[in-house]
Amino acid sequence: MLFQLKYFLWSKGLDGIAYVLSKLPVSFISLGVRLMARVWFDVIPIRVNLIVSNLKHAFGSDLSQAEIEKIAVKNLEHYLYFFLEFILFRALSTQEFQGRFEIEGLTHVQTHFKKEEKIFVLTAHLGNFEWLASWVPLAGIPLGIVVRTLKNKVFNAIVSEQRQRTGVHLIFAENSKWKIMKLLSEKNVIGFMLDQRKSPPGGIFVHFFGRPAATTQGLAYLVERSAAVVVPAFIERKTFGYFKIHIQPALSYKKVGNRRQTIYDLTQLYTRTIENQIRKYPEQWFWIHRRWRE
């Protein structure tokens, strides 16, 4: 009963905020976000040092301190936009939501889908990846994504509900392998993120921005098992609530030496693909995460 009450109050509260956001000019929201990000950077030290440190490790040899700090402030803006877009999603009709995307390279995934091949979509915590997932089923491509259960039960229910609104299949991380293989066999595309730290034995060390980074070998393992194609797809925010989706040609799969070497090479390939995209839009990646901690 208490859960239902909390869920009702949170849902109605978010719906009210979403309605207001949908009526405000984008220029007004952008001004507010820029001001809040500046205050966050100058006054509130939460995670700011970590973001700056990560950026220095990635770009320190190419960018000055001032340039690093400029990206850090834009990165804080990104998190604020992401949060507001999570709420805004509740106020948008399906037609309104679809109208907020510019698509590049859709045929790269449609070609393999029409051939009924097994497909993984490789993506990252870049741009509004939640909106990317929600858009895919609306393009006529059934999608499953691996998710973790959030500790707050009310927030977990709200997030899960939003993720499933457009028909996304949620695959819970615990014992996800068999569910993924089942959905693949049913002609579902599986979205896979490869840009967060995963310590051994589940992870292996590959190079990411010139440093060894513990990375899940799960995608390479599943590709090696299923011979699925891997299509990289990333989302770039153009302005608040408007995006461009970049879908790239499928990455080639080939065995190199033994199975262990193949999995390593594939994981390095996927990681390098993600890094290349982050370099294009560094302010929109998840630098707030301790990616290189062992």
Q: Which structural domains are found in the chain, ordered by start?
A: 2-284 (3.40.1130)
Backbone φ, ψ for residue 227 (5° rounding): 60, 30
pTM: 0.95
In degrees to the nearest 10, what's the CA dihedral of 182, 134, 278, 255? 20
pLDDT at 60: 86
Average pLDDT, the chain: 95
State the DSSP H helix or E strand holding residue 53, giving kind and residue range, or none if neither: helix 48-59
Give the residue from 113, 248, 290, 244 showing the smallest Cα distance to 187.
113
| pLDDT at residue 255 greater than cutoff 80 | no
Percentage of residues of the chain with pLDDT beyond 90: 90
pLDDT at 281: 98
pLDDT band at 175 (very low <50, low <70, confident <90, very high): confident
CA 242 to CA 99: how far, in whole Å? 9
Backbone φ, ψ for residue 292 (5° rounding): -100, 5
Average the pLDDT over 229-244 and give the result: 98
